[in-house]
Amino acid sequence: MRSHAPFAVVTAMTMAIGLALALVPAAPVTVAAAVPAGLQTAAVQTVPEPIPDGVTRLSGASRYETAVAVSRLHAPGVPVAFVASGADFPDALAGASAAALAGGPLLLTQPTQLPSVVLDELRRLAPARIVLIGGVGAVAAGVQSALHRVAPTTRLAGVDRYATGLAIVRSTFTTSDHAIIATGRAFPDALAATGAAGSRGAPIVLVDGTRPTVSTATLAQLARLGVRSVSIAGGPGAVSNAIHSQLSASGYDVTRYGGTTRYDTAALINRAYFAPGSSRTTFLATGLDFPDAIAGAALAGQLAAPINVTPRGCVHPAVSDTMTALGATSRVVLGGTGAVSETAANAARCVYPNTGEPLANWATSRWRLAGDVVPFADRPPVDVYSPSVVLDSTGLRIYRRVDNNQRADHPVVYAQYGLSALIEFDRTGDPLWLERAVRHGEKLIEMHVERDGAWWYPYPFRWTYIQRTLAAPWWSMMAQGEALSLFSRLATETGEPHWFTAADRTWESFPQQYTKTGPWGSLAIDGHLYFEGFAATNQPPLLVANTHIFAMFGLYDYWRLTGNAEAARYFDGGASTVLARIMPLVRVEGEVMYYCVQAEYCQSPSWQNQHYHPIFVWQLQTLADITGDARFAEWSSLLNADWQPTAFERAQGSDFEPGVEPLEMGAVPGLIEP
């Protein structure tokens, strides 16, 4: 079970709940698949008042309390309350569309005991009747007896989840020209359809989607209701093509809504059922577990509002597009931050690794760039006086691999030392530092490889980070960007043509499209430009925040050298991505930020890296200086307030090297390396 925020969450609201449903006479408690007479309702009779504009989170310390938080939007005197097991989804899911039609809440119970918070809520609601869903194997007779002491209680149950679902349909729906078919083996597709079903006053009918046909009892219910059109929620893996064909052959107009993921399916369903502006409210729930969302499904159906399912840490792009198209002014988040994070509640868009999008038409902001900012001048990446920084007899910094202690070429180690030496030369005028900067620039030129004339600087050793290993060679736009900065500054300092050539050839790597057979690093994803820090042929892009900006610093230095408008456009595109896509995903309020943005892999405590948090604070302030856009400074201030290193940590210092907190580094865990 997922963790949740503290119970509660709704500001005071006035509810207008009518009492138009006919009351069911008190009757002996029964357990049967047959439907007791007199339970049918013809249409939604009561609807809560609209949810306030903005974001409203409904949550509790458990799934039962979350359901109560949703229920509290109903005023006392509801015509009916539905109760189902919170231990499994089918019965509650089947009951959601019935509760939506009947105008009452859906509450959850433990299988053998009615939680006290649920009992208290039922007493507050004072329902005219209670419908308990599921057989005694799902909810014990003792729970039914406890419910009956609150209001007359009828149990709806069948021999299995499908028969129970049909009993619910039979008891609640008298007529409907439409029905939604979903698998009863998994919850996401049917869950996403609950709001859609409520908007049509239609039932959700659960079937065993692996079978070639639906049961004769299912066909009989569709015929009894007068159904003419059927939607299938989910792809053929959820509800078979044979069932699709059977329903079509039976005379129904059948439409399937099935995407490659549960989130794509939810988006397809909600796009089909909710035109722009058709609902002022939208619901957001985790797509990874069922209880919180099911508790809100009945309410969504009553409000004729869509249920959107999401990963915990962000909103899937397809769902985000659907929510934007709807244009709802209020958003109900179901469950605590353990189910739907604050980032997702605020509709931050997920970024999934993608290498197939053309490197074109990404977003820009058209800033006027300042020409006098010098990245790194206020914070050299390497302490060139540190005894831990060792040079060989030629003046080249020595890098030793963390896995075997063997010396290896490391392009960022070379570029950062060269930049720091050049900064020291500017500060002191000592030609020794210029010589060392030149030595490191020459080493980068020596180790470069070419792709269509562009120069690339490989990592010639494999690298392991959390659960993944990059095969050698691999590439980093941090190396490309910092090499570009070094070459551009050496060209300015010396005026020598070969530094201009090196800068030009390195810049040409930035516009190169992803390739499976050679070096790559720039990507367009969801209409935004990214510079990848761990580019390999055998792993998806990680989308590292600090690497992205270090690459941009190289573009900026090259623009300062040459005035190249295309380099400025790439810088602009990268900076636009920082504001629109990176910052909403990497910040963790009150904590260390995430190192990368790849959904959903990076949104984990394993990626909260103290080494890079203050570096990123500094990077954002530098972007504010370059662009003149105060939003970068605002983000920098927020991150700085979230977490700062201790005095001891600040005193340790560190190089700006691309890397992770390598929890799986084998012989040397805990080191931060590229």
In a domain, 77, yes or no: yes
For residue 66, give the nearest of 125, 114, 13, 7 by alpha carbon: 7
In a domain, 26, yes or no: no
Handedness of CA 549, 553, 555, 559 (dihedral sign): positive
Q: How far apart are CA 244 and CA 597, in angstroms?
A: 39
27, 137, 238, 263, 347 from 190: Cα distances, Å: 32, 23, 10, 12, 23
Q: Under DSSP, is residue 135 helix (H, G, I), strand (E, B) or coil?
A: coil
Which helix (H) or strand (E) element contains residue 65? helix 63-71
CB-facing half-sphere around the CA of 468: CA atoms within 13 A? 17
Tell whether 324 and 422 lie within a shared domain: no
Length of the chain: 674
Tell whether 423 and 299 lie within a shared domain: no
In a domain, 378, yes or no: no
| Least confident stretch, 189-198, 258-267, 555-564, 641-650 | 641-650
Under a CB-based contact definition with an 8 Å cutoff, are residues 502 and 487 in contact? yes
Tell whether 462 and 569 lie within a shared domain: yes
Tell whether 341 and 415 lie within a shared domain: no
Q: How far apart are CA 2 and CA 543, in angstroms?
A: 28
Q: How far apart are CA 167 and CA 157, in angstroms?
A: 7
In a domain, 631, yes or no: yes
Tell whether 305 and 436 lie within a shared domain: no
Q: How far apart are CA 299 and CA 104, in angstroms?
A: 8
Tell whether 470 and 602 lie within a shared domain: yes
Q: How far apart are CA 40 and CA 591, in angstroms?
A: 53
Q: Which of 50-59, 157-166, 482-491 has the highest mean pLDDT?
A: 482-491
CA 142 to chain CA mean position, Å: 41
Q: How far apart are CA 43 and CA 406, in angstroms?
A: 75
Number of domains present in the structure of the chain = 2
In tens, the pLDDT along 15-61 reads 332 322 222 223 223 223 333 333 333 333 455 667 899 999 999 99
Name the DSSP class of 592: P
Amino acid letter at 432?
Answer: L
In a domain, 368, yes or no: no
| Least confident stretch, 198-202, 345-349, 363-367 | 198-202
Tell whether 415 and 341 lie within a shared domain: no
Non-local CB neighbours of 147 within 8 Å, separated by 6+ positions: 83, 114, 122, 130, 132, 153
In tens, the pLDDT along 75-119 reads 999 999 999 999 888 888 888 888 988 989 999 999 999 999 999
In a domain, 668, yes or no: no
Please spell the DSSP secondary structure of 490-536, one letter per residue.
HHHHH--HHHHHHHHHHHTTTTPPP-SSS---EEEETTEEEE-SSB-
Q: Which residues of 78-107 are buried (b: 16+ CB within 10 A; e: fewer)?
A: bbbbbbbbbbbbbbbbbbbbbbbbbbbbbb
In a domain, 16, yes or no: no
Phi, psi of 283 (to 5 degrees): -110, 145
Q: What does the pLDDT read at residue 47?
A: 56
Residue after which a domain boundary falls, among 324, 345, 366:
345
Tell whether 174 and 309 lie within a shared domain: yes
Q: Under DSSP, is residue 31 helix (H, G, I), strand (E, B) or coil?
A: strand
Q: How far apart are CA 175 and CA 520, in angstroms?
A: 59
Tell whether 433 and 572 lie within a shared domain: yes
Structural tokens at position 25: 């006479």
Q: Look up the CATH number of the domain holding residue 493.
A: 1.50.10.10
In a domain, 102, yes or no: yes
Q: How far apart are CA 586 and CA 579, in angstroms?
A: 11
Under a CB-based contact definition with an 8 Å cutoff, are residues 106 and 130 in contact? no
Torsion of CA 417, 423, 428, 433, to 10 degrees: 30
Task: Give the mean model confidence (pLDDT) for residues 470-491.
Answer: 96
Tell whether 85 and 217 lie within a shared domain: yes
Q: How far apart are CA 520 and CA 530, in angstroms?
A: 12
Where in the sequence is the domain holding 525, given as residue range(s)? 411-652
Non-local CB neighbours of 437 within 8 Å, separated by 6+ positions: 418, 419, 421, 422, 425, 486, 490, 493
Confidence of residue 123 (pLDDT cuts 50, 70, 90): very high
Chain position carrying tokens 């004729």 = 304
In tens, the pLDDT along 566-598 reads 999 999 999 999 999 999 999 999 999 999 999
Check pLDDT > 90 for residue 609.
Answer: no
